[in-house]
Amino acid sequence: MRGARFETSSDVVRWLQSEAAGLWPALLGSLSFRRSPCVRENCPACKSGEQHPSYVLYGRQKGRRVAVYVPEELVPEVQRGLDNGRALQELLHQAAPRYVKALKRERTKARKSKKS
């Protein structure tokens, strides 16, 4: 394996593609848990203060915040997507300096070979 110090920009792209391959679906947003009252009169859950648990996904569409109700049985799947999204974001952050460093090394090499 080539060390990160000597990798080329296409090595970085290949690394990024292979790392990202296992991260789908990748989602960004936040999943929140809340308890809210219902509209029924004399509801035991509401009376006891327990209320009704539900999950809501907050995301953005065209710059506007949107909230989508998430049924409890879909929570693990949505959570996995959000974990993937964070991992992918972390990966893209790591990729940026590595890619730029590789481009700079390639530029230096290209200049040297032009002179000789």
Q: Applying CB under 5 A, which residues contact Zn ion?
A: 38, 43, 45-46
Instruction: Compute and round to an integer the Cα radius of gyration of the chain.
Output: 24
Q: Which is nearer to Zn ion, 53 or 97 (CB)?
A: 53
- Classify 59 as helix, strand or coil: strand
CB of 51 to Zn ion, least distance (A): 6
CB of 39 to Zn ion, least distance (A): 8
Q: Which is nearer to Zn ion, 13 or 38 (CB)?
A: 38
Count how many Cα atoms sit within 13 Å of the Cα of residue 51 in the half-sphere of its side chain.
Answer: 9
The enclosing H or E element of 67 equals strand 64-70
CB of 43 to Zn ion, least distance (A): 3
Q: How far is CA 95 from the centre of its chain?
A: 14
Q: Which is nearer to Zn ion, 20 or 46 (CB)?
A: 46
Residue nearest to Zn ion (CB): 43
